[in-house]
Amino acid sequence: MKIRVSQFVDFAYGDKRKDKAKVRSIIDALDLPYDPVRDRYKQFREALISFEDQKISTKEFLSLYSSVSANKSAGYKVLCQNYLDLKEDHALIWQGRSPIEAEIVGLHIATAWYLRTEANNQRRIIFLHFGKEQLPRKKERGLLTILRLAKPDSAGVGILNIQPGTLITATRLDQSEADYLRKRAEKFVTFAKDIKAGD
């Protein structure tokens, strides 16, 4: 079974009393068609690809905020500037929209937005987080562990929180966190099987 990394992280660190309801909501969401109206950062991601493919200039990328709705404008202005600043500060190399998938006890946890850096021929995977708020520390820790499980050959992994403008990195697998996530994945799969059997 494949779910998005954000869905699994929300389940893994959510209210355990509501586990079954959360699994059901995730399963139900998988059947819903993609709704571009609810995709707040679609225009930013598309502009980011165009910028990195050199189809638009830096000036055009930075002025993206002027072509989006009023409720997105301020956020987009910050996103574009932060992206350029963080890319320069951390020597980020664009890798495109590339899939990453971690398999944990039969649950395939997928994400598709990352960059990479290279230092001394060692690759670091950087996950792009587009959320309006910075991830809580426990979710950051869990996401880093998932990325390490998905890319064990990487010299390190990180989370680029574009909105707040921070980069969290880890170079070693957190074994205790990996064990916790395996238990949560087992719980997810168990509930998912029960729900599907009951449908």
Per-residue model confidence (pLDDT) at position 139: 94
Domain with 168, as residue range(s), is 2-198
Ranges assigned E (strand) in 38-173? 100-104, 107-111, 114-119, 122-129, 156-161, 166-170
Q: Give the burial string for 42-69 (b: 16+ CB within 10 Å, else e).
A: ebbbebbeebbeeebeeeebbebbeebe
CB neighbourhood size of 36 (10 A)? 7
Return the percent helix, strand and coil in the chain, to nearest 5: 50, 20, 30
Say how far apart CA 108 and CA 69 lie, in whole Å: 35
CATH number assigned to the domain comprising residue 73: 3.90.320
Q: In the prediction, which pLDDT does 69 show?
A: 92
Domains contained in the chain, number: 1
Residue closest to 45 by CA, chosen among 83, 89, 92: 83
The HSE-up count of residue 139 (CA atoms within 13 Å, CB side) is 16
Q: Record the pTM.
A: 0.89
Output the tens digit of pLDDT for each of the chain's 199 residues: 899 999 999 999 999 999 999 999 999 988 888 888 888 899 999 999 999 999 999 999 999 999 999 999 999 999 999 999 988 988 888 887 778 899 999 999 998 788 888 777 788 889 999 888 888 999 999 999 999 999 888 888 999 998 888 889 999 999 999 999 999 999 999 999 998 887 6
Amino acid found at 33: P
Joined tokens for residue 175 = 């074994």
Residue listed under structure tokens 């709705």: 69
